[in-house]
Amino acid sequence: MAKVLIIGAGGVGSVVAHKCAMNSDVFTDIMLASRTKAKCDKIAADIQAMHGVSIRTAQVDADVVAEMVMLIKQFGPELVINVALPYQDLPIMDACLETGVHYLDTANYEPKDVAKFEYSWQWAYKERFEKAGIMALLGCGFDPGATQVFTAYAAKHHFDEMHYLDIIDCNAGNHGKAFATNFNPEINIREITQPGRYWENGEWVEIPPMSIHKPIDYPEIGPKESYVLYHEELESLVKNFPTLKRARFWMTFGQEYLTHLRVLENVGMTRIDPVKFNGMDIVPLEFLKAVLPAPDTLGENYTGQTSIGCQIKGIKDGQDQTYYIWNNCDHAETYKEVRGQAVSYTTGVPAMIGAMLMLQGIWMKPGVWNCEEMDPDPFIEQMNRQGLPVQEQVNIPLPHEY
Ligand code: NDP
C-alpha cells in the first residue's frame, strides 16, 4: 500500500523497521537510512532472517537538507519516519516540505548548543505544511506519544473535565551494566540534568533537577522512587486540555544511576559547550556518549518491565472521578520479538502505529499536530494488537495526594 522511509538506525529505528516489516500489508516498501549504512544493513539482515521481509537501506546525513531531498526523490516515499536525533527534526521537515511528503517524529527539535525542550520551532511549520497539503505528526513515541493518546482517550471516554494529570514512567529493568542510558545517552542526559518543571494553576513551576521525588507503586512492579522532570508532552497537553490545573511528569531512577550521573556532572562530563583538548574542540557530553553502551546493545539479557501510564483526576457527571491508564512491557519479550529492549520498543511501536494510521487516512490532516489532537480510539486498538496492551482502572484511590 505505501512506501515509507525511516531515518535513524539506533535502538528505536531498529524497532520501527522490524514492526513496519511485520505489517507489510500497510508498509509495502520500506527503506531504512542513517548516517552509518552498516547499521541499517545489519538491521535489514535481522529483519530478513526473522520476518522474511526484504527492506532497502541507504546512507544519509539528515542534517543536510539537500541530501535528504535527494534520497526522498530517489526512493519516492509517502511518509518519512524520523527516529534519528532531535537535532535532525527541522532539516527533515524542510526536506519533506520541499518534496511534498508526510512527516512523523518521536522527539521535539532541540538546538545542539542549548538544551531547550519546546515545540515552538516545529509548530512554526504549521501553515507551510497545511498549504503544502501534507501532515507532520510530532512526538509519536511513548512519552511523548502514547501518553498523549492516553490523555485524549481519558478526556473522550471518562471525563467531562480533567483537573490533575500525572504521567508516571517506570523502568524496572536490569541490563547488568554499571551505567547506561536506555535511549540516546546525549539526549537522555541533556533532558534529566535540566531544571524540573511542572504546570500548576496556569503557570510553569521550575524546580532544581530531581528535587521532588517519592515512591510510586507501579502495577506488577511495586514501589519505585520517582522524580519530577520536565517532559515535552506537558507543553502541548496543557495547551490542548486547558482545564488541567496541574500536570506533572514522573520518572524512576535507581540510586546507582543517580550516583554515576552526579559524579559525571561534577567532573564536567555532561557539559554541552566545547572545551579545548589537544588543540581540538570537544563537547564532553558527545565524548561521553561515545564511551557509553549504545541503547541498541542493551537488549540481550535485559530483564524486568517498564510501566508507563497516566493518572488523572477530574469530574464526570458532576462527580469526582479518578482514572489510570497504562502499559507494562517486558524487556526479554521485546528482545525475543524484534531484538530490541523495551524502551526502544515502547517508542518504536507507537511510531509505527502513528505512521500506519496516517497512511491509512485514519489520522490524516494537513498541518502540524501533536498526538492528543487525533482520535485516540484507533491508536489504542492498534496498541492492543501490536504488542503494547493497554490496561485501565476507573475510580481507584490514586497513590498521590490531590
Ligand atoms: P540512538 O542513538 O540509538 O540512534 C540514533 C540514530 O540516529 C543512530 O543510528 C544515528 O546514526 C542516527 N543519526 C544521528 N545523526 C544523524 C544524522 N545527521 N543523519 C542520519 N542519521 C543520524 O537513539 P535512539 O534510537 O535511542 O533514539 C532515537 C530517537 O528517539 C531520539 O530522538 C530520541 O530522543 C527518541 N526517543 C523518544 C522516546 C519517546 O518515547 N517519545 C523515547 C526514547 C527515545 P549513527 O549510528 O551513525 O550515530
147 in ligand 1 pocket by Cβ < 6 Å? Answer: no
Mean pLDDT, residues 270-291 taken together: 94
Q: How far is the CA of 13 from the centre of ligand 1 (A)?
A: 7
- Residue 366 makes CB contacts below 8 A (sequence gap 6+) with 129, 130, 132, 133, 134, 135
Q: How far is the CA of 118 from the centre of ligand 1 (A)?
A: 18
Secondary-structure class of domain 146-340+388-394 per CATH: alpha beta
Q: How far is the CA of 32 from the centre of ligand 1 (A)?
A: 13
Percent over 70 (pLDDT), the chain: 99
pLDDT of residue 53: 98
137 in ligand 1 pocket by Cβ < 6 Å? Answer: no
Q: How far is the CA of 136 from the centre of ligand 1 (A)?
A: 18
For 178-192, 203-217, 297-311, 355-369, which range has the lowest pLDDT when averaged over its residues?
178-192
41: pLDDT strictly greater than 70: yes
Residue 42's pLDDT band (boundaries 50, 70, 90)? very high
User: Which of 305, 395, 39 shows the shortest CA–CA distance to 47?
Assistant: 39
Q: How far is the CA of 295 from the centre of ligand 1 (A)?
A: 9
Assign domain 2-138 to its CATH superfamily. Answer: NAD(P)-binding Rossmann-like Domain (3.40.50.720)
Residue with CA closest to ligand 1 atom 23: 184
Q: What is the pLDDT of residues 374-395, one digit of tens each?
A: 999 999 999 999 999 999 999 8
Q: What is the pLDDT of residues 105-164, one digit of tens each?
A: 999 998 887 777 889 999 999 999 999 999 999 999 999 999 999 999 999 999 999 999
Report the atom number in ligand 1 closest to the C-alpha of 346.
Answer: 40
350 in ligand 1 pocket by Cβ < 6 Å? Answer: no
Helix (H) or strand (E) holding 137: strand 135-138
Pocket test for ligand 1, best of 184, 233, 296 (most atoms within 8 A of CB): 184
Domain boundaries, the chain: 2-138, 146-340+388-394
Look over the chain and give the mean of its residue pLDDT values, rounded to a whole number: 95
Residue with CA closest to ligand 1 atom 37: 106
Return d(Cα 107, Cα 82) in angstroms, integer. 9
Q: Which three cell numbers stand for residue 292?
A: 557509553
pLDDT of residue 396: 78
Q: What is the pLDDT of residues 184-237, one digit of tens each?
A: 888 888 888 889 999 999 999 999 999 999 999 999 999 999 999 999 999 999
Mean pLDDT, residues 252-277 taken together: 92
Q: What backbone torsions phi and psi does residue 324 show, to the nearest 5 degrees?
A: -135, 130
Percent over 90 (pLDDT), the chain: 88
Return d(Cα 203, Cα 223) in angstroms, integer. 30
Mean pLDDT, residues 259-265 taken together: 92
Q: Which three cell numbers stand for residue 182?
A: 536506555
Mean pLDDT, residues 339-353 taken together: 97
- Residue 224 makes CB contacts below 8 A (sequence gap 6+) with 170, 172, 215, 216, 218, 252
Mean pLDDT, residues 41-48 taken together: 98
Return d(Cα 400, Cα 134) in angstroms, integer. 42
Q: Are 46 and 339 in contact (CB under 8 A)?
A: yes
pLDDT of residue 402: 47
